[in-house]
């Protein structure tokens, strides 16, 4: 699985004019599932997201996690994280997990983050044309890959 994690002061997702998820201080997580991903990949990413020390402590150093600051997490499904644009100009998405399995992993990520103690977990809408609005704080953006490819 892959994730783009952004520290935000606020973020929201809108689908057809209605807000499906919104948070204040916390993390916006763009989450994609790839072929062969499963429970171990999900557990790895959930653990990383909840423990990433990217919030400032009293000295201004990135030393605190989303749990430490009682922050929120907004998770948005994004199969395009598996886009391969190495050849030609149109990305291929052949390594993205098929939609039924990807949706299951996405929904499990929401449950797992809540179970891990995240104060507020919000979500986009799987498979929808979403509009994501955010204020990146820092800016701080981290790339995660359960297979540790980057």
Residue 27 binned pLDDT confidence (cut-offs 50, 70, 90): very high
Helix, strand or coil for residue 100? Answer: helix
- Model pLDDT, residue 146: 97
Q: Across residues 69-75, what is the average pLDDT?
A: 98
Q: Which CATH number fits domain 2-145: 3.40.1390.10, 3.30.930.10, 3.40.50.150, 3.50.80.10?
A: 3.50.80.10
For residue 147, pLDDT beyond 90: yes
The percent of residues above 90 in pLDDT, for the chain, comes to: 98
CB contact at 8 A, 84 and 95: yes
For residue 36, pLDDT beyond 90: yes
Break the chain into its structural domains and give their ranges: 2-145
- Model pLDDT, residue 86: 95
Global pTM value: 0.97
CA–CA dist 5, 27 (Å, integer): 6
The percent of residues above 70 in pLDDT, for the chain, comes to: 100
pLDDT, averaged across the chain: 97
Pairing of strands 72-77, 26-32: parallel
Helix, strand or coil for residue 107? Answer: helix
Residues identified as active-site: 78-80
pLDDT digits (tens, 9 = 90+) for 91-134: 999 999 999 999 999 999 999 999 999 999 999 999 999 999 99
Reference 31, options 70, 61, 62, 21; nearest CA is 21
CA–CA dist 25, 85 (Å, integer): 33
For residue 70, pLDDT beyond 90: yes
Q: Which two tokens stand for residue 37?
A: 């991903």
Q: Which two tokens stand for residue 135?
A: 């204020």
- Model pLDDT, residue 150: 82
Q: In this structure, what DSSP letter does residue 29 have?
A: E
């Amino acid at each position: 699985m892959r994730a783009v994690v952004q520290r935000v002061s606020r973020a929201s997702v809108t689908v057809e004019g209605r807000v499906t998820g919104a948070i204040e201080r916390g993390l916006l997580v763009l989450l994609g599932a790839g072929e062969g991903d499963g429970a171990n990949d999900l557990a790895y990413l959930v653990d990383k997201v909840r423990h990433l020390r990217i919030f400032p402590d009293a000295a201004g150093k990135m030393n605190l996690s989303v749990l430490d600051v009682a922050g929120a997490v907004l998770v948005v499904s994004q199969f395009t994280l598996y886009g391969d644009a190495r050849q030609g100009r149109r990305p291929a998405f052949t390594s993205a997990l098929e939609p039924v399995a990807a949706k299951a992993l996405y929904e499990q990520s929401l449950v797992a983050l809540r179970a891990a103690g995240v104060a507020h977990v919000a979500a986009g809408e799987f498979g929808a044309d979403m509009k994501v609005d955010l204020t990146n704080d820092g800016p701080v953006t981290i790339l995660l890959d359960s297979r540790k490819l980057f």
